[in-house]
């Protein structure tokens, strides 16, 4: 199977001024055509460092993808580093020069003499056209390694990859027809180690497909990465999907990039139901997430953020006695917020959230991270007491996720306690 390394060049990447988004984007494209990436490397705009990195990968991988260092200035060293690593002189490419000159004519701009440098390439290399910038790409073979050098500007890199690099990779794919595919299962409700226990036998290393877990913003995802012929991959993915679904069941709320709010929105739409929210500690985050989705006005009717106690009394008809007796952060207040949000808005579902997001305001009885989440249907109301970890932002995110998860499970007629205690 073809394997690859990705080399990103630039002081701004290595010093942390710019986040390297190119490497991940290239890797995701390669996965789709069955080329597995072994390593990402980023080095500064230094001839020595770039040439050393190219040499290290030459012969070790079948494809080396480079981005950056093709500009017209002093600190653009990729051309020279390629020539150095391949032991070849740099030569002017007439066609590339004509392309750069045409680019400036098109924009009615005068070409600086330094732009001529961009038409240089190692003797045996060919250039790749750049349809949205001045820097042509470079393509050359050194030993068994096919090297593609693209610009660092993400937009230019992406267009060049799609127009010039991808067709070459497809044409030269050493084992025709091998593909790889990643499928991601998103779960909510238990921690990474619990998920790891449930599917431990599926996660043994060094297998194909491989199964791994990641945590992002408190949500645990399970990835299956399979490679082989299209047919093999299809079979592997189907088999693993069945196993993972059987083990994790309703803990899985979606696959791929489908968010919790998408899932909840789809369920509400499908059932033609509506929701209203009353949020204290999450301050509008839940409503914002629910309304992130195009067309959410079909199911999201109305939200309140009764931050101050008098707002809870005035807008959500919370009894001031109740507030005095139990405090704003309490089970009965969450219940009334949920019930009255739904009732006042005339919605099928009402959600009420009250808690202590921190960092201040915690007590021994009611520590930071304590959140009560009420969920009311037209006939009953349930309240869940949650103790979340994390900082203010984390507590708020987890509270909104939990609220959406409770709503999702209720719409699926599932009992949250049973699901989360799997």
Please report, as residue ranges, which positions from 333 to 392 form the binding site for a second copy (by CB under 8 A).
Answer: 344-345, 358-360, 387, 389-392
- Which listed range, 121-129, 188-196, 244-252, 265-273, lies at the site for a second copy (CB under 8 A)? 188-196
Residue 229: CB minimum distance to a second copy, A: 19
Contact positions with a second copy (CB under 8 A) in 296-335: 296-297, 300-308, 311, 314-315
Using an 8 Å Cβ cutoff, are 248 and 241 in contact?
Answer: no
| Cα angle value 100/101/103 (rounded, 5°) | 65
Residue 124: CB minimum distance to a second copy, A: 26
- Which listed range, 170-178, 238-246, 287-295, 411-419, lies at the site for a second copy (CB under 8 A)? 287-295
Q: Establish if 41 lies at the interface with a second copy (CB under 8 A).
A: yes
Q: Establish if 223 lies at the interface with a second copy (CB under 8 A).
A: yes
Could you give the CA distance from residue 287 to residue 261 in angstroms, rounded to a whole number?
10
Site string for a second copy, 57-86 (x = CB under 8 A): --------------xxxxx-x---------
Q: Establish if 92 lies at the interface with a second copy (CB under 8 A).
A: no
Q: Is residue 127 classed as helix, strand or coil in its secondary structure?
A: strand
Residue 75: CB minimum distance to a second copy, A: 4
Q: Which is nearer to a second copy, 122 or 151 (CB)?
A: 151
- Which listed range, 36-44, 119-127, 140-148, 409-417, lies at the site for a second copy (CB under 8 A)? 36-44
HSE at residue 86, side-chain half, CA atoms within 13 A, is 23
Contact positions with a second copy (CB under 8 A) in 246-285: 277, 279, 282-285
Give me the helix-helix angle, 47-57 and 78-86, nearest 10°. 50
Residue 58: CB minimum distance to a second copy, A: 16
At 296, list the tokens. 């959410």
Return all residues near 383 (Cβ < 8 A) that are at least 6 apart.
331, 334, 335, 338, 372, 373, 374, 375
Answer for which of 2, 9, 37, 263 binds a second copy (CB under 8 A) is 37
Q: Which is nearer to a second copy, 140 or 188 (CB)?
A: 188
Q: Is residue 340 classed as helix, strand or coil in its secondary structure?
A: helix
Parallel, antiparallel or unpaired: strands 219-229 and 210-216: antiparallel
Nearest to 115 by CA among 107, 123, 157: 107
Residue 111: CB minimum distance to a second copy, A: 8
Q: Which is nearer to a second copy, 53 or 86 (CB)?
A: 53
Q: Which is nearer to a second copy, 103 or 140 (CB)?
A: 103
H or E segment and range at residue 384? strand 381-387
Contact positions with a second copy (CB under 8 A) in 151-180: 152-153, 155
How far separated are the first and last CA of the chain, in Å rounded? Answer: 39
Answer for which of 162, 239, 270, 292 binds a second copy (CB under 8 A) is 292
Q: Is residue 95 classed as helix, strand or coil in its secondary structure?
A: helix
Could you give the CA distance from residue 385 to residue 365 in angstroms, rounded to a whole number?
13
Q: Which is nearer to a second copy, 126 or 302 (CB)?
A: 302
User: Greatest CA span in the chain, whole angstroms?
Assistant: 86
Could you give the CA distance from residue 150 to residue 14 in angstroms, rounded to a whole number?
18
């Amino acid at each position: 199977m073809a394997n690859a390394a990705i080399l990103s060049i630039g002081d701004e990447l290595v010093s942390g001024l710019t986040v390297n988004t190119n490497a991940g984007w290239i890797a995701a494209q390669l996965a789709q055509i069955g080329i597995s990436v072994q390593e990402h490397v980023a080095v500064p705009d230094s001839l020595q460092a770039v040439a050393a990195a190219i040499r290290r990968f030459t012969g070790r991988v079948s494809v080396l993808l480079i981005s950056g260092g093709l500009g017209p200035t002093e600190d653009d060293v990729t051309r020279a580093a390629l020539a150095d690593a391949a032991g070849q002189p740099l030569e002017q490419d007439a066609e590339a020069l004509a392309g750069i000159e045409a680019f400036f004519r098109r924009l009615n701009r005068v070409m600086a003499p330094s732009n001529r440098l961009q038409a240089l390439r190692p003797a045996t290399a060919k250039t790749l056209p750049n349809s949205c910038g001045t820097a042509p790409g470079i393509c050359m073979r050194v030993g068994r390694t096919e090297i593609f050098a693209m610009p660092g500007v993400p937009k230019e890199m992406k267009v060049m990859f799609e127009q010039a690099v991808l067709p070459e990779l497809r044409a030269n794919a050493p084992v025709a027809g091998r593909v790889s595919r990643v499928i991601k299962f998103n779960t909510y409700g238990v921690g990474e180690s619990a998920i790891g226990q449930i599917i431990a036998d599926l996660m043994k290393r060094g297998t194909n497909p491989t199964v791994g877990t990641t945590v992002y913003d408190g949500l645990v995802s399970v990835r299956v990465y399979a490679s082989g012929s299209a047919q093999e991959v299809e079979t592997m993915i189907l088999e693993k999907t069945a196993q993972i679904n059987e083990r994790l069941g309703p803990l899985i709320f979606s696959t791929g990039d489908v968010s919790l709010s998408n899932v909840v929105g789809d369920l509400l739409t499908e059932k033609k139901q509506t929701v209203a929210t009353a949020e204290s500690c999450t301050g509008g985050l839940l409503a914002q997430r629910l309304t992130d989705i195009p067309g959410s006005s079909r199911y999201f009717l109305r939200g309140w953020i009764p931050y101050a106690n008098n707002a809870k009394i005035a807008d959500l008809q919370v009894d001031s006695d109740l507030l005095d007796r139990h405090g704003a952060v309490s089970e009965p207040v969450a219940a009334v917020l949920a019930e009255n949000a739904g009732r006042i808005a005339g919605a099928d579902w009402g959600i009420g959230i009250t808690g202590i997001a921190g960092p201040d305001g915690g007590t021994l009885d009611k520590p930071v991270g304590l959140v009560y989440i009420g969920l009311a249907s037209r006939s009953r109301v349930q309240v869940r007491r949650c103790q979340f970890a994390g900082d203010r932002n984390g507590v708020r995110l987890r509270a909104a996720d939990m609220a959406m998860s409770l709503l999702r499970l209720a719409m699926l007629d599932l009992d949250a306690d049973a699901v989360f205690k799997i």
